[in-house]
Amino acid sequence: MNGSSLKDQKEVDIDIRQVFEQLKNNQFKVANYDLRQRKSRLDQLQQTILNFREKIKDALYRDFQKHAFEVDLTEIYPVISEIKQAKRNLRRWMGHHPVSTPISLLGSRSRIHYEPKGIVLIISPWNFPVTLTLGPLVSAIAAGNTVILKPSEQTPAATAVMQEIIELVFPPEEVVLIPGGVETSRKLLSLPFNHIFFTGSSKVGKIIMESAAKNLASVTLELGGKSPTIIDASANIRQAARRIIWAKFINCGQICIAPDHIYVQETVSREFIATLKQYLNQYFGNDAREEPSYARLVNHSHYERLVEYLENALKNGASIEYGGNMSQPEKYIEPTILTGTSPESLLMNEEIFGPLLPVIPFSDMDELVHILNKKEKPLASYIYSKSNKNIKKLIESTRSGAICINHSGIHFYNSNLPFGGSNFSGIGKAHGWFGFQAFSNARAVYNQIIPGPLEILIPPYNKIKQRVLDFAIKYL
């Protein structure tokens, strides 16, 4: 379900309908787990992940040569952090959430009770397979759901390790991980889940939403888009270059919130490009192929896609400022900086999702805002600036799932912030309290304790009752 050809993908031999029915039949038992029971599951998940830490690192190296430190930073830490936050706050999340009572409803009390949606499906991508599978699982478990996990077929080693973890922590009537390819996903999407949480491309997100609509299932869609970065003349150029290089080329650029392309004010553009080159050499040396910190593309399909983007950009007048070397057998593309990219090129119209970085000069901030607003809403946008005026303009005059000021991608690590897109880049939010809400139904609970003033407005209606209602409309 990631857009590439998967005809040869071996489908799993499992009765998906039977698994679904088992989880469905057990949903109310799991929903009634108290605070202690839910926290116990989270404790077990946390400890098992830590016990499997080296296995996870080995799996991700086998899938796309991800460095062990990067696995800790982008796969282990975010999930453990999500678990810890859920455990700290679960009592409050599961508790009563009272709301105020209008004077017209005197004699009553109202509250919100967050109940689990029921049986949920989590479909996760390949680029951060552990984080984007187990992170949403934390929220689903905290909210009291039964869960089917469907990881990407493109990272089989990571999927195998996660299946071991799930089978050790959860009984099969609570959480099940089902590996497989497109056909497995189609079978799952035909089932009447109560909620579907999908992370992946906007193209597949539309398919997920269409399938969910047939069963009136709610959805959380964590999609992508072309996240722009803006650097104005007031920015700290060295700081901006250092942070952008890290955020762009981690995981070989295969990250949905990576800076997709950069708009830099003309007066500082040459200085900025020169500084980018300095930090690329500092991070990855003269040959990134020899640097263990630099990962590889996940498969040959994504390699060929990026080669096509690069060749198309060069054909349309772009120039390579840095990099450009590649190796098909290794699925390797060097960190590459481009200038002069045509607005019509594939590079400027498709989500890059790889180590190619176009840099585009601009002169006027108002003109740039106009350009940004003609595009689909991205998952994130970034601005490097010391100008409060420019920062305010970007916040108020553009739209995106998140905006990060003087950093890139780091907002993902703050679970107190909602994570997610808007329209083309997603529907709904994840992480922390927002993830708990995504997997919960906010159920209104109204309790009439003693007769209230509305009791006098029952039929038969008369002039006195009309005057009371007129007073309420005007003053209450």
Catalytic residue positions, numbered: 222, 256
CA distance 442 to 431: 17
CA distance 332 to 275: 24
CA distance 130 to 124: 9
Computed from CA positions of residues 91, 43, 163, 133, in that sequence, does the dihedral angle turn out positive or negative?
positive
Tell me which residue of 404, 408, 350, 409 sits closest to 375, measured CA to CA: 350
Match 């991608």 to its residue by tokens.
409
CB 113 within 8 A of CB 84: no
SS3 176: strand
Cβ-count burial 29-53 (b if 16+ within 10 Å, e if not): ebeebeeeebbebbeebbebbeebe
Q: How far is CA 454 from CA 99, 105, 449, in A?
A: 19, 7, 13
* Phi then psi dihedrals of residue 429, to 5 deg: -130, 160
Tell me which residue of 194, 197, 151 sits closest to 298, measured CA to CA: 151
* Phi then psi dihedrals of residue 116, to 5 deg: -65, 150
- For residue 300, what are its two tokens? 């040959």
Alpha helices in 113-214 (DSSP H): 131-143, 156-169, 182-189, 202-214
109: number of Cβ within 10 Å: 14
CB 394 within 8 A of CB 403: yes
* Phi then psi dihedrals of residue 121, to 5 deg: -115, 130
Tell me which residue of 184, 90, 167, 166 sits closest to 435, measured CA to CA: 90
Computed from CA positions of residues 156, 160, 161, 163, in that sequence, does the dihedral angle turn out positive or negative?
positive
